[in-house]
Structures are given as C-alpha cells and as structure tokens.
Amino acid sequence: MPKKRKNRGRHKGDKGKESVVYCDNCGRRVPRSKAVRVTVPYSPVPGDLAKDLEKQGALITRYYVTKTYCVNCAIYMGILKVRSETERKVERKSAPKVPTVPRAPQSQGPQQSNASQSGAQKQ
C-alpha cells in the first residue's frame, strides 16, 4: 500500500498502542507520537511594560511553557507547514540541540588527518 509519509505521520515505529494526549488549543485527543510539542517563553508581564520595568531595575522572570498541539492546530498556528508530495517522503532533520564546540584534543586529531590528506593530494 502506498504511504503518504515514510513514518506515517508519527514516530512510534512498530510499537503497538501508546498513550493519548490532549491538544492545548482545541482539546482534541491525539496520539502522543503524533502530537506537536512546542516550548515557548512566557511572561505574565506584557513586552513593552517588561522592558520599561527592566530599565528601572526590576527582575522579571520568564517561564518556559510547553504546549501540546494536534497537527491541525499546529498548521493553523504556523508551527508546521503543509509540505509538497515529494517533500513529505524525506524525513525532517531537526537542528542539533547542543551546539557543537570542537575541543582542543579532538580538533588536533582531524587537523593532523587533514594535513596528511592534503599532503597526499599534493603528491
């Protein structure tokens, strides 16, 4: 049977059942692997007022709120976009969460190998 998406729109693999979560916007029941989770900074104080208060020296805490949405609401809110038929077949690669900083001993290893490779290319 032809598949619309490689992962069938979910990431549960061949696991059988899984728990259900509720969309925070519309309340729809969504399988946990299909739901879209977004972490958004939230401040109880509006932006302009917060800037003024911070200039005066007030400390305003920012909370990070994780929201769960169904696919319908995620598309409506602009979190997801509808992809073309060919684009759907390719898995989305998310950006690495931790920035990769090369360490000194690790960076020396590839440099030496690069030097040997470049030397080999010159010959």
Chain residues in the site for Zn ion (CB under 5 A): 23, 25-26, 28, 70, 73
For Zn ion, give the closer residue by CB, 50 or 79.
79
What's the min distance (Å) between Cβ of 7 and Zn ion?
Answer: 20
Q: Using H for helix, E for strand and C for coil, what is the string for 18-44?
A: CCEEECCCCCCEEECCCCEEEEEEECC
What's the min distance (Å) between Cβ of 44 and Zn ion?
Answer: 24
What's the min distance (Å) between Cβ of 82 and Zn ion?
Answer: 16
For Zn ion, give the closer residue by CB, 29 or 89.
29
For Zn ion, give the closer residue by CB, 26 or 65.
26
Provide long-range contacts, Cβ within 8 A and 24+ apart, for 14-23: 21/68, 22/68, 23/68, 23/69, 23/70, 23/73
